[in-house]
Structure 1
Amino acid sequence: MLDLVLKGGRVLDPGRGVDLSADVGFRDGKVAAVEPSIPKDAAREVVDAAGLVVTPGLIDLHTHVYWGGTSLGVDADAIALRGGITTFVDAGSAGAGNFHGFRRHVIERSNSRILCYLNISFAGIYGFSKNVMVGECSDIRLCDAREAVACGKEHADLIVGMKVRIGRLAGGTSGVAPLDIALEAADRLQLPCMTHLDYPPPGRFEVIPRLRPGDVLTHCYKPFPNDIRQGDGHVRADIKAARARGVVFDIGHGMGALDYEVARAMIAEGFLPDTISSDVHTLCVDGPAFDLLRTLSKFLCLGMTLEQVVTAATSAPAAAIGRPELGSLAVGAIGDATVLQERAGSFDYVDSLGRTMTGDRRLFCRGLVRSGIWTANEEQDLG
């Protein structure tokens, strides 16, 4: 007997090349069957997914969900359904000095799965609000590879990589040194490093060559001066070389990192993001980013296909964090799924510079399966 069947939906699992009308069955927290038709009496619960799209549970690779423990944290469970997210990857809200609190008070109590990049700063992101903005890497004394490695080993079940924020805002006069320290810690832990780069110094020329295969450059479609285009609008040679050696390019929309002009140029040139993430936090959860589904919808309207945006929020982030059991509806995979409705209409979308785009489509979440348990989106106004 199956615990749950999602019946009659379009099953879109692009990481495995699957796009077909099928039923998906779950048992004991895992995917148990993907078949053309599963009898209704073979399951304890049946959800009608006719006319809807069933994908692997969406993974938001860049979020900030240390709610109550950091000033930028939002409540993962409060936005999971509207964002279609079954796995949140927190991008460095906590450092070694406060990770225990993140684990005990947020992660262990959450209905949503939360995995983490550990901030190389011992204090994590501690000064982030409309009125207070203190970069956690501006005091290099807070960046210690020994503390990060010890924390990474102790919490290896949750920590998927190192995170470092560098640039004039996040790092002050520390330059590229926090990145070098983060890379040392990541190497010792044998994990990737996610790098945020705001305004120089340091600049792209110092940062990009340091990134290794599997490392993530987030905010990859951000505006000038760390735009990945040359002055003529084409992709820079060092960016192409980084992708060729396996650097992962992530969106990380947030409040300042999606420029429609850059996005249109890159998509036209075929330089698509590897992963699409929201970088949701307190200063962008009410716009311009909102959540993962709003971000994915923007990229649908910018010219990416549904298959491409689903890949960028399922199998691609799962690979980036080394968790192949996520982001897939293969039999035996963790039983996560997102049930989507793609609506036609007229929808206004704003980028990080305040530019408005009117799109003809938007994705809405009708419900989530988390470890085999169905939760419907009961919100009456899904707009």
Structure 2
Amino acid sequence: MDYELILRGGRVVSPAQGLDAVADVAFAGGKVAAVGAALEAGLSTEVRDVSGLVVTPGLIDLHTHVYDGGTSLGVDAMRLFRRGAVTTLVDTGSAGPGNFPGFRAHVIERLPVRILAYLNISFAGIYGFSKRIMVGESGDMRLMAPVDTVAVARANRDVIVGIKVRVGRNASGFSGLAPLQIARAAAEEAGMPMMVHIDEPPPMLEDVLALLRPGDVLTHCFRPFPNSPATADGRVHDYVLKARERGVVFDIGHGMGSFSFAVARTMLANGFPPDCISSDVHALCIEGPAFDLLTTLSKFLCLGMPLGQVVEAATVAPARALGRPDLGSFAPGAAGDASVVALETGSFPYVDVVGERIDGPLRLSARGMVLGGVWHPGG
């Protein structure tokens, strides 16, 4: 077979294939063509020497906000692509049914990076989010739009992967569980999963988890107290354990207020790693503390998670949550995406959302990406 591109000699880490070894990865026709040792290049094959670097299936950031220019929290998707080595960005509720057509026309369809979306149950999406203005869209029940949400989701199934709802004192005021109940009804009608944001009570995390179905995603899952999954005496709440047992997906969603080193240490010590690791990068945290997906992944490496487990949480696990088996894998015929990153050693500063700072011994940094079989430089 004539390969169009070969990544030569990197450490290939693909948990979907149980692979962690030095190998070549070849692409043809925009797809993964082969993984193996010393793959033969043709006369027209582009060969990239990636020896000494880590090669993974294209990284998936399950929680971002990239409706740049359409919402005040949106950031440039191409910046996250280059700096985070991310080939699939999932926008989580920036747009609702009232403004999703603009998001699709002006961002999703214009950029080369793959963008998928959870559609906000609020008609206007997340519309009042800045350093000076913070209006939770779920706090106004007049904006809950289940009929419109189902219609827009059905009409855009190629890019809409689920329904997003934000609940908590900041996102929904005193609306309680009502926005979540409406979102669940819409998700069931559309035949889609939900992603559910939780911040400070009300409502309580236990009550939120009770409404989540198998395959639904709880984002901000390692947030600090209150509504933390960890107890004060270093355990995991029983209702959190039961939610995982029935198939709820736990996603990090770092952001500006939703990741604590202390909580992460407790959860990992109890054998409860996150299912998915995502950045929740938006306008208020892109310069810290979240920065990008690679920074968030690096924090977990420094907390002791093995590289393979960290890669799994940003490749095959989010692909499974999205219902996209063509992503997050180096299986022949899968989407021709790859992320090439350096695993650096030294002393690197990291900070969480409550101000705890650590100097970590490891850092992942972008060196390049393959998107649809085409090489792009990273950094």
Corresponding residue number in structure 2 for 1:232: 233
SS at match of 1:335: coil
Specify the code of the residue in structure 2 equivalent to 1:257.
S
Residue 43 (structure 1) shift:
4.8
Unaligned runs of 5+ in 2: none
Corresponding residue number in structure 2 for 1:315: 316
Instruction: Give the Cα separation in 1 of the matches to 2:206 and 2:318.
Output: 26
Per-residue displacement from partner, 1:7-27 (whole Å, max 9, x unpaired)? 111111012201121111111
- Pairs aligned (count): 378
Is this contact kept in 1: 2:16–2:330, CA < 8 A? no
Instruction: Give the Cα separation in 1 of the matches to 2:102 and 2:226.
Output: 36
Is this contact kept in 2: 1:15–1:328, CA < 8 A? yes
Corresponding residue number in structure 2 for 1:285: 286
Instruction: Give the Cα separation in 1 of the matches to 2:82 and 2:111.
Output: 13
Instruction: Give the Cα separation in 2 of the matches to 1:36 and 1:265.
Output: 40
Percent identical residues = 60
Is this contact kept in 2: 1:5–1:43, CA < 8 A? no
Corresponding residue number in structure 2 for 1:301: 302
Instruction: Give the Cα separation in 2 of the matches to 1:229 and 1:209.
Output: 17
Question: Quick check: 1:122 aligned with 2:119?
Answer: no
Specify the code of the residue in structure 2 equivalent to 1:191.
M
Question: Quick check: 1:196 aligned with 2:197?
Answer: yes
Corresponding residue number in structure 2 for 1:107: 108
Residue 373 (structure 1) shift:
0.3
Instruction: Give the Cα separation in 2 of the matches to 1:337 and 1:134.
Output: 38
Question: Quick check: 1:186 aligned with 2:187?
Answer: yes
Specify the code of the residue in structure 1 equivalent to 2:289.
P
Matches for 1:71-150 after TM superposition, within 5 Å: 71-150=72-151
RMSD over equivalenced CA pairs, Å: 0.9
Residue 42 (structure 1) shift:
5.7
Per-residue displacement from partner, 1:169-221 (whole Å, max 9, x unpaired)? 11112111000011011111111101111111111132111110000110011
Corresponding residue number in structure 2 for 1:205: 206
Specify the code of the residue in structure 2 equivalent to 1:209.
A
Displaced runs of 4+ in structure 1, greater than 4 A? none
Residue 324 (structure 1) shift:
0.7
Specify the code of the residue in structure 1 equivalent to 2:94.
S
Is this contact kept in 1: 2:206–2:240, CA < 8 A? no
Unaligned runs of 5+ in 1: none
Residue 347 (structure 1) shift:
0.1
Matches for 1:1-383 after TM superposition, within 5 Å: 1-41=2-42, 43-377=44-378, 379=379
Per-residue displacement from partner, 1:267-293 (whole Å, max 9, x unpaired)? 111100000000000000000000000
Instruction: Give the Cα separation in 1 of the matches to 2:174 and 2:17.
Output: 45
Is this contact kept in 2: 1:2–1:42, CA < 8 A? no
Residue 231 (structure 1) shift:
2.8
